[in-house]
Amino acid sequence: MILHELMSYEALRFIWWLLIGVLLVGFAVTDGFDLGTNMLLPFAGRNDLERRVIINAVGPVWEGNQVWLILGGGAIFAAWPQLYAVSFSGFYLAMFAVLVPLILRPVAFKFRSKREEPAWRARWDWTLFLTGLVPSLIFGVAIGNVLQGVPFRLESDMRIFYEGSFLALLNPFALLCGLVSVAMLLMHGGAWLMLKAQGPVAERARSYGSVAALLTLVLYALAGLALWSWIDGYRVTSVLPTGGPSNPLLKTVAHQPGAWFANFAAHPWLWAAPGLGLAGALLAFVFMRARRGGAALLASALSIACIILGVGASMFPFILPSSLDPRASLTVWDSSSSHLTLFIMLVVTTLFIPIIVAYTAWVYKVLWGKVDADAIRDERGHAY
């Protein structure tokens, strides 16, 4: 309890904001190449054996990678209850559109090889393609809508009212952000297949991944330009106590053109995040053309991580702005759980995150190496 009293509410809120960012990056970088590989399945694999090689490149690790998504959802629920309430209720249909493909993915992995009929396997191959495409697109669309503001309001008793619709989420800027997400995960999947596959599969993955890297570069730059030119940001216009009560209605907020770039103007070193996002995509393209799969994978991971971190740096201290009632916008300083809750969770997280990272690293070490097409053909030790 002494340590609890020594750690200020402000520090705990900031630490948990950082941890949410780490969990989101962890999910995007690990499960991201699974989603990208699924999108490449019908194109990088031209026959049944090649497609089985692609499936077995991610089959042993996708479940472990998805743990980061579960951790992120749990952390939001416990650390930022108002954020969880608004996003998981207001974005219900969008969440459903993500969960259905994620549920279908293991079904497709398991059922695909139960029959040898080409039509049966082709249907499951396209199902796997959609289980990669749909979540990748929706995740980006969600970020695009958050940057524009979400149509919710709070009553004085903190009851939440969401007044948006699913179709309204599919606006031009949000779809542009969705395309950025699809492109960067395709890039990541291409780099992963270069590393894990051999022969024609690796070459096709290299070609598609190279195009995706260039698209990531171009689309991300266009999204940044659109954010600067067309999208008004949000700015707190009153005093916002960093250690005050979790009541978003105690502040005033205004729309302001270019507000999402104010943090970069005040702290120029933050430009490293979007800069490395662009540089990582460019390096991924260069390394793919040079047939350096490992370096391409690291570069694409750098690009994905910095693109996500760039959004967080741009929005801070906002975590969910409201387009209906800007003062109801949720920030790092006024929408968290209690001081004690954040502290207890931090202790638990400090204990368990290293265990998860160590176990994940061990699994990747054990499963390292190229997928052997001959072993798949002979059914030696492969699950899919």
pLDDT 10s per residue in the chain (384 long)? 555 556 789 999 999 999 999 999 999 999 999 999 999 999 999 998 989 999 988 988 888 888 888 888 888 888 999 898 888 877 888 888 899 999 999 899 889 888 889 899 999 999 999 999 999 999 999 999 999 999 999 888 888 888 888 888 899 999 999 999 999 999 999 999 999 998 899 999 999 999 999 999 999 999 999 999 999 999 999 988 888 888 999 899 998 888 999 999 999 999 999 999 999 999 999 999 999 999 999 999 999 999 999 999 999 999 999 999 999 999 999 999 999 999 999 998 888 888 888 888 888 888 788 887 777 776 655 557
Per-residue three-class SS string for 150-193: ECEEECCCCCEEECCCCHHHCCHHHHHHHHHHHHHHHHHHHHHH
Q: Is 241 left (phi over 0), alpha (psi -120 to 50) or beta?
A: beta
67 and 151 Cβ atoms separated by less than 8 Å: no
Quick check: is 263 in a domain? yes
3-state secondary structure of 142: helix
- Alpha-carbon distance of 60 to 19, in angstroms, equals 27
E strand or H helix that includes residue 226:
helix 199-229
Which amino acid, 287? F
Quick check: is 11 in a domain? yes
Quick check: is 233 in a domain? yes
The CATH number assigned to the domain holding 157 equals 1.20.1630.10
Burial of 322 (0-12, 13-18, 19+ CB in 10 A): buried
Quick check: is 383 in a domain? no
Quick check: is 384 in a domain? no
- Domain around 185: 2-376
Helix, strand, coil: what percent of the chain each, to 5?
A: 75, 5, 20
The residue among 307, 223, 309, 316 whose CA lies nearest residue 262 is 316
Number of domains in the chain: 1
Angle between helix axes 272-289 and 172-196 (nearest 10 degrees) is 40
Sign of the Cα torsion 182, 188, 194, 196 reads negative
E strand or H helix that includes residue 297:
helix 293-315
Kindly list the distances between the CA atom of residue 297 and the CA atoms of 178, 265, 276, 285, 377, in Å, as whole numbers in the listed order: 21, 31, 15, 10, 27
Quick check: is 302 in a domain? yes
pLDDT of residue 379: 65
Quick check: is 316 in a domain? yes
Q: What count of other Cβ atoms lies within 10 Å of the Cβ of residue 202? A: 23
